[in-house]
Structure 1
Amino acid sequence: MKDNNFILWFDEIGIEDVPLVGGKNASLGEMIRELKDKGVNVPNGFAITANAYKYLLKKAGIEDDIRKILSDLDTHDVTNLRERGQKVRDLIINAEFPEDLKDAIVKAYEEMHTKLGYEKDTDVAVRSSATAEDLPDASFAGQQETYLHIRGVDSVIEACKKCFASLFTDRAISYREDKGFDHFDVYLSIAVQKMVRSDFASSGVAFSIDTESGFRDVVFITGSYGLGENVVKGAVNPDSFYVFKPTLKKGKKPIIGKKLGTKKIKMVYTDNGVKNIDTTEEERNRFCINDDDVLKLAEWACIIEDHYSKKAGSFKPMDIEWAKDGDGVSVGTGKMFIVQARPETVHSQRDVNVMKTYVLKERGRLLLKGQAVGEMIGQGEVNVIHSADDIHKFKKGQILVTDMTDPDWEPIMKIAAAIVTNKGGRTCHAAIVSRELGIPCIIGTENGTEVLRNGQKVTVSCSEG
């Protein structure tokens, strides 16, 4: 019985297994099982099931302690949230890890060599996959943790402990409260997946529709050099591409739009984990992938969207993460891979019979420009926040101005009148969450934190694109 297993290989699971392995794992399994023969490359691996998480809590006897810690939780008090989140995470990380669970994980990791043919002690990504993840109306984007370039059994076990604990990151606790999920009705599964060496190449995000208008006939792709975290978090202004789907499906090469991003940094591996380094002038002045790569990603986006739409019985636009595996010479295979696919959460839920238009009736002096997310307009008092350590200083109804956001900022993003960032593209965290929350957002302004001042009253208009 699948239900009792600690380990399930990706080729044993599909989209119907979300309660067992979470949204991310179920989708990875679905693509490996159903789309491999259609040419879609997905890195292989295995899922540590939600049953394993439940077993850990039961054997360690810590569920009642977690309930006690969360009994006076107030997610609108950032200090209260931070203290309780840290206590729960410490409790899980320090819990005694059951030997039979550890043995099962070690055995599966070693079988990545004997069963899947990867090198011994191969490098893997250890990724969280929550059972409430990737729902049609709630992305749960980035709420739990991922650990990259993990090698060796001890490192894998340590990363798994941290992943299990990350079900209770501050942002995940806050997001569940807002979406009405009980903390004990959501479980954590883990993906242990062959690492794609995009640190020697590039990575990014693709949407099977236009992110702003919801137009169905384009694929929108963003990308930058190095690991994908910078694109997802909005740490870089990425390259972007539009591909027209109807003529792509007829065998043409319809790249109808390309925009060069500044791509000032890239995330790479070091002996002490990952770090950002500056890109070269040459890298900044060329696109991070070539036209053939763009067309391949667009083709795969169409295949994935068509598959999930057919399975759902209705149109199912998709939010997809991709990575290129090295240069194919000194590192990796040089091939493109899909590392995640989940339902798009905004336009897929929109009432197509209702059209809203926002108009700015009066104009003041233009202070700043960037890329608009959505079409809404917001106004309020500027609060420049430079670090997640200062989010407790933010008040409801203010304009959040920052370098970039990540999921830790979600508790204040939901109370902002608008959001302005220096960095990021239309597929970054700030953009995705702003769309989902229905909050106006201007990304990639380059110098918003320098131009705008605390207490300044401003209007943020996304109504002009």
Structure 2
Amino acid sequence: MAAASPWIRWFADTSIADVPLVGGKNASLGEMYRELAGAGVRVPNGFATTADAFRHFLRETQLDREIRRILSNLNADDVASLQQCGRAVRQAILSTDLPNDMQQAITAAYQQLCREAQTEADVAVRSSATAEDLPDASFAGQQETYLNVQGARPLVDTCRRCFASLFTDRAISYRHHRGFDDFQIALSVGVQRMVRSDLGSSGVMFSLDTETGFRDAVLINAAFGLGENVVQGAVNPDEFLVFKPTLQQGYRPILERRLGSKEWKLIYDIGGGRMTRNVPVPPEDRARFALTDDEVLTLARWACIIENHYAQKRGVDSPMDIEWARDGRTGDLWIVQARPETVQSRRELHIQEQFRLAEPGEIVVRGRSVGERIGQGTVHVIPSAHQLADFRAGEVLVTDKTDPDWEPAMKKAAAIVTNRGGRTCHAAIVSRELGLPAVVGAENATERLRDGQPVTVSCAEGDEGR
């Protein structure tokens, strides 16, 4: 490894105890890289910038004073105020160079990864807040991720963009509504060798059933290409459900396979001006599953290993939310993130809620149900985040897909309906966290539903939401 620096921590030297130093995401990567390789779980190598590096950046450039000045005018409940203050803070950070000692430390660590790869390494660059992915506060998705970053100079610039993403509108709103002080949280940047899932497949899995909280199942979503499409709900992914007890006895208990439409895949933008781009998936690939049964079972076993490891570390049951990738060149499976599941694992098991429709009505759209509740309101179709300021409390939010920029509006919705996405996408995870009924992957909701239309959104009738 490169010479030790106070601004850099390699995964091999990092454990879950290092959340204050490198954030939840990077501490978890280090923990798995160090502890689970012997159990066969693969995690790509990498390093993290430290929380001290972030504070050093703000202090040396006097950005800390400027940010305090800007945020002193913030009204976190006002979308316009959020947008104005967030934009001003991000612009201040993006227009300021990192201190030379930080640039040199990041460059030296990246060059070490290049030597390991025996080429100019392509890396994933992920933000990891020091309060992120804690069992009692899900900061997942609040900051940015960048894929296929190549070269030392682009990496340094991307690290600065990650630092700025601590002050996205959604991150500021989330912290203020959860009672976190902006300056008690720092940001670490994780730099990890890429898995060429742009040539293979990727997705998300949970070590429980996301809707019922059933602990003896592993739910896996999969699509072709890089994993951001599944996380963001840009595609309707394949879905697999595996039964843990008989899996651990050596059987092959895939209880359910559901073929998704998988219209798009995210790939490297080779020769283009961006790092990645979306391309259509050929019809013959859309008609097949993105994983073989053997790969599904391997991932499910890894989910059990990861869950058991964290349960031993924490001393309590620890259902996990895990991102995986399959390298299209080698066929190898990899784990690229793991965090505690934050909804079903906190559910009061002795309380049972049941919802029923008083009478059936005309079904306008169908999709995958999220939660078991029923919501009512008038439809508001929002084509893009630019129209979010027009959304009113108590309306039903209807859109193509959501990302973390939508969270301030989602908190005001009576229910959520999206054209795209599966049960592990952003819209589903946030809806569960907020206790909202949501129907994801409805395909044509923005065409079938119109502004002002009164509707009932029901997730109380099983897997299908209506």
Structure 2 residue 101 is matched with structure 1 residue 100: yes
For the residue of structure 1 that corresponds to 2:47, the secondary structure is strand
Matched, 1:346 2:343: yes
* Deviation (angstroms), 1:178: 1.3
Q: CA deviation at 1:361?
A: 1.3
User: Which residue is equivalent to 1:355?
Assistant: 352
Aligned residues: 457
- 1:290 maps to 292
The answer for the alignment partner of 1:247 in structure 2 is 246
User: Secondary structure at 1:63's aligned position in 2?
Assistant: helix
Where does residue 372 of structure 1 map in the other structure? 369
Partner of 2:57: 56
In 2, the alpha carbon distance for the partners of 1:367 and 1:399 equals 14
1:463 and 2:464 aligned: no
| Separation in 1, partners of 2:192, 2:385 | 30
Match of 1:91 in 2: 92
Deviation at 1:227, TM superposition (A): 0.8
Letter in 1 for 2:117: Y
Could you list the per-position Cα deviations for residues 211-265 of structure 1 after superposition, in whole angstroms to 9, with x for gaps in the alignment? Answer: 0001011100001001111101111000000111011111111111100000011
User: Deviation of residue 363 (structure 1)?
Assistant: 2.5
Normalised by the length of structure 2, the TM-score is 0.96
> What secondary structure does 1:111 align onto?
helix
1:230 maps to 229
- CA–CA distance in structure 1, aligned partners of residues 248 and 175 of structure 2: 39
* C-alpha displacement of 1:137: 2.9
Q: Shift in Å at residue 95 of structure 1?
A: 1.6
Residues 30-82 of structure 1: CA distance to partner in whole angstroms, max 9, x if unpaired? Answer: 00111010000001010111110000000001111101111121222212111
Question: Distance between the aligned counterparts of 1:268 and 1:97, measured in 2?
Answer: 30
Q: What is the TM-score when the length of structure 1 is the normalising length? A: 0.97
Distance 1:4 1:87 in 2: 31
1:317-332 to structure 2, matched below 5 A, reads: 317-326=319-328, 328=329
4+ residue runs over 6 A deviation: none
Q: Say if 1:75 and 1:81, in contact at 8 Å, map to a contact too.
A: yes
After superposition, give the CA deviation of every residue in 1:69-102 in whole Å (9 maximum; x if it has no partner): 1112122221211111111011111123111111
Gapped regions of structure 2 (runs ≥ 5):
none
- What is residue 421 of structure 1 aligned with on the other side? 418
State the shift of 1:120 in Å: 3.1
The letter for the 1-side match of 2:245 is: P
Instruction: Tell me if structure 1 keeps the 8 A contact 2:5–2:105.
Output: no
Q: Matches of 1:361 and 1:342 in 2, distance apart?
A: 39
Matched residue type, 2:83: R
Q: Per the alignment, in what secondary structure is the counterpart of residue 184 of structure 2?
A: coil
Tell me the CA shift for residue 275 of structure 1: 1.3
Paired residue type of 1:436: E
After superposition, where does 1:6-405 map in structure 2 within 5 Å? 6-114=7-115, 117-270=116-269, 271-273=272-274, 274-326=276-328, 328=329, 333-405=330-402
CA distance in 2 between partners of 1:410 and 1:363 (Å): 31
Counterpart CA distance in 2 for 1:433 and 1:93 is: 28
Q: Which moved more, 1:147-156 or 1:135-144?
A: 135-144
Q: What letter is aligned with 1:281?
A: P
Aligned 8 A contact 1:208 1:218 in 2: yes
Helix, strand or coil at the partner of 1:184 = helix
Q: Match of 1:422, as an amino acid?
A: N
Secondary structure in 1 aligned to 2:108? helix
Deviations 1:3-22 (A, max 9, x none): 98200100101101000000
State percent identity of aligned pairs. 58
Q: State how far apart, in whole Å, the 2-side matches of 1:111 and 1:170 are.
A: 35
CA deviations on 1:324-383 (whole Å, 9 max, x unpaired) are 112x3xxxx320000000000001111111111111112222211111100011101110
Instruction: Confirm or deny: 8 A CA contact 2:377 2:394 kept in the other structure.
Output: yes
**Post-superposition CA distance 1:375-414 (Å, at most 9, x none):** 0111011100000111011001100000000111001001
Secondary structure, aligned partner of 1:251? coil
Contact 1:373 1:440 in 2 (8 A): yes
Paired with 2:73 and 2:5, the residues of 1 have a C-alpha distance of: 34
Query: What amino acid is the match of 1:439?
Result: L
* Distance (Å, rounded) in 2 between the aligned partners of 1:389 and 1:132: 28
Q: Distance in 2 between matches of 1:456 and 1:319?
A: 36
Q: Which residue identity does 1:391 align to in structure 2?
A: L
- The one-letter amino acid of 1:223's match is A
Instruction: In structure 1, give the amino acid aligned to 2:431.
Output: S
Supply the distance in 2 between the matched residues of 1:44 and 1:422 (Cα, whole angstroms): 36
The corresponding residue for 2:447 is 450
Q: What 5-or-longer segments of structure 1 have no aligned partner?
A: none
Q: Report the Cα distance in structure 2 between the residues aligned to 1:112 and 1:138, rounded to whole angstroms.
A: 32
Secondary structure of residue in 2 paired with 1:433: helix
RMSD (Å) for aligned C-alpha atoms:
1.3
**Are 1:137 and 1:346, in contact at CA under 8 Å, matched by a contact in 2?**
no
Q: Which amino acid aligns with 1:177?
A: H
Residues 277-315 of structure 1: per-residue CA shift (max 9 Å, x gap): 111110110001111110110000000000001111111
8 Å CA contact 1:219, 1:301 repeated in 2: yes
Question: How many angstroms apart in 2 are the aligned matches of 1:5 and 1:321?
Answer: 29
Q: One-letter code of the match for 1:98?
A: P
Q: Distance in 2 between matches of 1:266 and 1:97?
A: 34
